[in-house]
Structure formats: C-alpha cells, structure tokens
Structure 1
Amino acid sequence: MLEITGLRAGYGPVEVLRGLDMAVAAGEIVAVLGANGVGKTTLNKVLSGVLPARAGAITFDGMRLDRATPAAIVEAGLIHVPEGRRIFPNMSVQENLELGSYRRGRPRRGANLHRVFETFPQLRERARQLAGTLSGGEQQMLAIGRGLMAEPRLLILDEPSLGLSPLLVEEMFALIRRLNAEGLPILLVEQNVVQSLEIASRGFILENGAFALNGPAATLRDDPQLRRVYLGL
C-alpha cells in the first residue's frame, strides 16, 4: 500500500533523511525503530505532507503523495497519530473524536464514533469530560480513536507507548495487534524495539537518517548487531 523510494528530507542546510527505501503491504504491521534524533519524526512529517520531500517518491496505493498537501493525504486515507498525542485539552473527549472525521469519514461519523467507543469503553464513560483531564493512557486512547474516526486505510502510530506505565504499554501493543487483526495496516514508529518486533511482520532500524538494518521481525530479533546496540546483549 505504501512505497517509499530514495526519500530525502531535512531542515535548512541539514539533511536528516538520506535516501530511504521501504514499503508497507496490505495487512502488515511494519515497525520503524530507532533512538531519539535519528529521523523518525522527520519521516512521519514527510509522510503526512507537513515537511516537503527533497528527493524521492512516496506512493500510496498507486497515488503519488510526495507533493500532496496534508489535507489530500488525509483524504487518501493515510492517517497519522502523532507523538505526544496532540489532543485538544479544552475540548471534550467526544469533540476531539468528532474532529478526527473533519476531512474523511464525516458521512459515517455516528457509526465510527460507536466503533471507537466499543474499542475504548473508557472513552464512552468520559465522552463529555475535558480531554486535558484524562490520564496519559486515556489520552493515548483518545489520540488513536481520533485517528480511527478518519477511517484510515493505513495508520501511522508515532511512539504510542511513550510515557505509559509498563502495564499500559502491554495493553497498547495488544490493541495494535487487535486493530491489525481486523484488517488495518499499521506503520509503527517506536523506540520500544523488543515489543515492536514481537507484533510486527517486518522492521526497519533507522540510524542517522538511513536504514542500518531491515528484514523480517523474527530475523531482526536475533540479529547480533541489533541485540548489541539496542538490547545491550
């Protein structure tokens, strides 16, 4: 569904992404893994149209997106749940969710809202509560629920486990697996190497703006270089 070839991007004179090639097929969870500052957020910004690509191509289900506007990318069904949740704290939970269907999914807003509440019963209980008063885990649920309101054809999750307790991290990865089992392709961008590779079909290890390793998740888990650099083994 998503194919990236020769992607380069950066800020001013600084090139951050240095010729990335990767793809996400229908039904897959693909993990992009790496520490802070290696280019993960820059990649997501380019995929979402917020930052222009300097070179290369981004194709989504046969449609070129590397010169598309953020609105056109959302309308195509490539939906990004950003790092840090980025909810609207002074609006209610339900208002935040409804904003998710502003560009896409508006005709089925009621049905999609019901689906999100079925997925996240806590959000139903707090529908009229201000989003800024939710716990960190509930805010992450809200951010993902808002993404689901746009009827994603491919969902980009940027650091969904960041700042969550170990128990909530387990629940978050279980949720990602469940959403994928329902047919939703997911691009998972994470620092959590171990749990990401447990649920992904393939992984890409990003270092200094380039992919240092990539392949089937099971193969990467056993790679000596990955175990030494990221797992300390």
Structure 2
Amino acid sequence: MSAARSPEGAHAAAEGAPVGALLDIRGLCGGYGRVQVLRGVDLQVHAGEMVALLGSNGAGKTTLNKTVCGLCRAWSGTIRFDGKDLSGAHYRAVVKAGLIQVPEGRKVFPDLSVRENLELGSFTRAHERRAANIEKMFHLFPRLRECMAQRAGTMSGGEQQMLAIARGLMAEPVLLILDEPSLGLAPRLVQEMFALIRTLRDGGLAVLLVEQNVGQSLEIADRACVLENGSMRFSGTPEALLGSDMLRRAYLGL
C-alpha cells in the first residue's frame, strides 16, 4: 500500500479533532534502536471522549502507546496531557498525571491474588482510597469478588482481562488506554467486554481504545483514527470512515 496520503484521507485526517484536547500528541516520531516506527503522529483525545485507534498488526499502535506512557522514548514531537508536557517523561510521572494503560496481553501478576493485583493498581495514585475503590471494582466486576483470594494466573482469559481493567481503574485514571482488550477472548466474552467499555464511556471516562475489532470499536467510539505504517491516515467520526468506500477498503479491509 502506498505511504502517500490520498486527498480524501488528508482531508479526513484534519477533521473531527476537538479543540483543547485532554491528550494532545503532535508530530510524534519514535521507534526502537535505529528502526523508526512512528512518523509524525498527531492524535488528540478530549475529556469524556472515546477514540478508537485502528490499524493492522505492525501499524505502530503498541509503539505509540508505549511512547505516550513513557515506556519508549520519543525521538521528536510533543505529548501534552491535561495541560502538562509529558514529552520524555518517566512512566511514573505519566501514571501520576492520571494517564493509565491496560496493556495488551493483560499482564496480571500471576502469583498474586486478585485482591493483591487490585491493590497494586493504586500503588502510585489514589492509594488513600484503595479500600473504597476495591469495593467499586467488585461492584463493577462481581466475578472478581467471588475469586478475590484466587491467584491471578489460574483465572480464565476473560477473568484476567476483567482484572487488568479493574487494576487500571484503581488508579482513578483521567484517561484510560485499553490496548487490544478483546484479544484472545471467546465471542461471548468479546460482547461483554465491549459492553463494559461502553459503560466506562457512558460514565464520562476518556478512553483511547486500541483494537483490531473494527466493527465493535466503531459502534461505541466518538471518533476513529487509523494508523498505517506509523503514520496517521484518518481522524474523524466513525460515520465518515464507514461512509467512504475508499477509506474502508484501504485501511479497514471492509
């Protein structure tokens, strides 16, 4: 696929981004060693907004997440979050600012109990409200209350994903990044996962949803962005993306 942006794609990439964004990424470049992955990425997420970041494997989605969260160093560009410049910030500073990521693959602590995993979620933020927030998580995820003493490594994939999201919520995020939350889940659990994400959005939480499940993501997103070969090819409403035959074929394979 050509790396050149089409006139329609270029026009679309300029539309739909809110003014005064909570997360404001401009001209972000980065990668690993001498291998460049991100090529001048612009991305904005507004308070209370859900943005779906779409793209195939290798598009640069996970690298973008890691760079925003301070796990990979940006080569150039700026990352502003909630009025603060987080360009080059340590990941602890990113967490303290309220930008929380639920990583791809769940990454629960397998030898710790469900409750201990939740407690670690408030290690850096909101530790003084830990007990109250655990009760909130048990209300949101009743299954976690039932198995609070169980080792996380013995849980099913769907249960581990619930735990990973609950652990992220324990930090009282201002913006939550969900990286492939439906990956590896059975179809029924995928439906439940997206229903949960919709609940978080309806509660006013800003969410950056990184997914390959295009249909489900576009149903609940306020805006959609498409990343291809480390460059942002589209940013706009889900309706605009789905309404363009060229964009659907080129970037979504639909």
Corresponding residue number in structure 2 for 1:186: 207
1:1-40 mapped onto 2 (5 Å cutoff): 1-40=22-61
Deviates more, 1:132-141 or 1:215-224: 215-224
AA in 1 matched with 2:182? S
Percent sequence identity is 62
| Residue 230 of structure 1: how far off its partner (Å) | 5.4
1:121 pairs with 116, 138, 142, which one? 142
Corresponding residue number in structure 2 for 1:173: 194
C-alpha contact 2:28 2:41 (8 A) present in aligned 1? yes
AA in 1 matched with 2:82? D
Is 1:58 matched up with 2:79? yes
Q: 1-side partners of 2:234 and 2:128: how far apart?
A: 42
Q: 1-side partners of 2:94 and 2:210: how far apart?
A: 18
C-alpha contact 1:193 1:230 (8 A) present in aligned 2? no
C-alpha contact 1:81 1:147 (8 A) present in aligned 2? yes
C-alpha contact 1:87 1:139 (8 A) present in aligned 2? yes
Q: 1-side partners of 2:196 and 2:236: how far apart?
A: 24
1:89-108 mapped onto 2 (5 Å cutoff): 89-108=110-129
Give ranges in structure 1 of 5+ residues lacking alignment. Answer: none
Q: 1-side partners of 2:23 and 2:107: how far apart?
A: 24
TM-score between both structures, scaled by the size of structure 1: 0.98
| Residue 26 of structure 1: how far off its partner (Å) | 0.7
Is 1:161 matched up with 2:193? no
- The alignment partner of 2:74 has SS state of coil
Deviations 1:85-123 (A, max 9, x none): 000111100000100000001000011101100000000
Q: 1-side partners of 2:74 and 2:249: how far apart?
A: 33
Corresponding residue number in structure 1 for 2:248: 227
| Residue 232 of structure 1: how far off its partner (Å) | 4.3
Q: 2-side partners of 1:195 and 1:32: how far apart?
A: 12
Corresponding residue number in structure 2 for 1:87: 108
C-alpha contact 1:194 1:221 (8 A) present in aligned 2? no
AA in 1 matched with 2:170? M
| Residue 206 of structure 1: how far off its partner (Å) | 0.6
Corresponding residue number in structure 1 for 2:12: none
Corresponding residue number in structure 1 for 2:16: none
C-alpha contact 2:30 2:39 (8 A) present in aligned 1? yes
| Residue 222 of structure 1: how far off its partner (Å) | 2.0
Q: 2-side partners of 1:185 and 1:91: how far apart?
A: 29
AA in 2 matched with 1:73? V
Is 1:201 matched up with 2:222? yes
| Residue 225 of structure 1: how far off its partner (Å) | 2.5
The count of corresponding residues between Structure 1 and Structure 2 is 233
TM-score between both structures, scaled by the size of structure 2: 0.90
C-alpha contact 1:9 1:18 (8 A) present in aligned 2? yes
AA in 2 matched with 1:192? N
C-alpha contact 2:226 2:233 (8 A) present in aligned 1? yes
Please list every run of at least 4 consecutive aligned residues from structure 1 whose deviation after the TM superposition is greater than 6 angstroms.
Answer: none
RMSD: 1.0
Deviations 1:7-29 (A, max 9, x none): 00011111100001110001100
Q: 1-side partners of 2:121 and 2:38: how far apart?
A: 29
- The alignment partner of 1:54 has SS state of strand
